[in-house]
Amino acid sequence: MKINMPKEWLRASLDDLKIISRIIDIADLSHMIAFHSQQSIEKSFKALIEYKQLKVPKQHDLLRLKEIIIEDLKLNNDDLLDTLNQLYIDSRYPSEFGLLPDGKPTLEEAREFYEFALNIYEQVKNILEKKSLEVIGKSIKLRFVEVKDAEFILSLRLDDNLNKHLSSVDDDLNAQINWIKKYKEREKNKEEYYFIIESLSGEKYGTVRLYDFKDNSFCWGSWIIKPDRPSNTTIQSFLLSIGFGFNKLSFPKARWDVRKENNKAIKLYKLYGAKIVSEDELNYYFEYKKEDYEIIKDKYKKFIN
């Protein structure tokens, strides 16, 4: 079994924090609170370094480790990191463990170290959890839309070759940015997931969205793909996004509507095994069950991991 190293480092960091929480009121053990705070931070940093697929240095120097992941974390107190870095952790004398150069930390100092370590742990945990919601395929991935994607999304939505069958949007970058900001709230509340479809190295090809979650189904849509995408982007993005709804969100069914004249999309949906369950003057309404997805996933299994 492949070991998930970032997760393992983070779990080890949490173990240090758990130990601290048991001794946090014991003044006599303030040096051990400091010692485990240092250990927790070192492990949180290493979790993030592993997560970024960088080489984890075999060293305890927190300042050196920090340099590697400086852009990813907000460390609001560099002095504290500097102080913790001076702790005796490799001492030849057991009595020196957890001591600062000028002796044992006060309980107040030790508590500050703990809060600091806890904050770093939480930040790294958030970063790692976000990653676990990233959806990786063979040659593309889906990642959550960010405010910085506003221009790209607007360019897709304003492209006359792509927007013929979509609801119109204004040519207004600020409105798009505000829309994304509101979406990020819904994402945080687990009410909606809006993805950028991109290459594994980050070249953007399109978008897809899961929203309007009901008891047993999710709405799937905002599927737009630039014409100059590499081969297989379309099937991969369909399977990855629909699979996210079935596998990660545990819905048994997806639904969406499509304008009746959108022949290209309709042809693909039928090819993928989706069924028209109703229609009105403007739209066909499709349903797609997890079983339908399993068949197509098997047929195109070489395109997903």
Ligand X SMILES: CC(C)(COP(=O)(O)OP(=O)(O)OC[C@H]1O[C@@H](n2cnc3c(N)ncnc32)[C@H](O)[C@@H]1OP(=O)(O)O)[C@@H](O)C(=O)NCCC(=O)NCCS
**Helix ranges restricted to H, the chain:** 5-23, 30-51, 62-68, 78-85, 107-132, 150-157, 173-188, 233-243, 263-271, 290-299
Element (H, E) at 141: strand 140-144
Residues in CB range of 181: below 8 A, 6 or more apart: 147
Contact region with ligand X (CB under 6 A), list: 10-18, 28-36, 118-126, 160-168 = 160-168
Interaction residues for ligand X, span 240-279 (CB under 6 A):
258, 262, 264-265, 267-268, 271
- Least distance to ligand X from the beta carbon of 184, Å? 23
Comparison of 264 and 275: residue with beta carbon closer to ligand X? 264
Residue 60 CB burial class (10 angstroms; 0-12, 13-18, ≥19):
middle
- Least distance to ligand X from the beta carbon of 226, Å? 7
Contact region with ligand X (CB under 6 A), list: 18-26, 159-167, 173-181, 209-217 = 159-167
Give CA separation, 202 vs 173, 196, 205, in Å: 22, 10, 9
Comparison of 119 and 262: residue with beta carbon closer to ligand X? 262
Comparison of 11 and 267: residue with beta carbon closer to ligand X? 267
Structure tokens at 233: 């982007």
Does the footprint of ligand X cover residue 234 (CB under 6 A)? yes
- Least distance to ligand X from the beta carbon of 125, Å? 35
| Alpha-carbon gap, residue 30 to 21, rounded angstroms | 12
Question: Are 283 and 256 spatial neighbours (Cβ–Cβ below 8 Å)?
Answer: no
Comparison of 113 and 220: residue with beta carbon closer to ligand X? 220
- Least distance to ligand X from the beta carbon of 304, Å? 14
Total of chain residues touching ligand X, rule CB under 6 A: 17
Tally of CB atoms within 10 A around 300: 15
Site string for ligand X, 199-228 (x = CB under 6 A): ------------------------xxx---
- Nearest Cα to 100, choosing from 194, 171, 28, 30? 30
Binding residues (CB under 6 A) for ligand X: these are 162, 165-166, 223-225, 231-234, 258, 262, 264-265, 267-268, 271
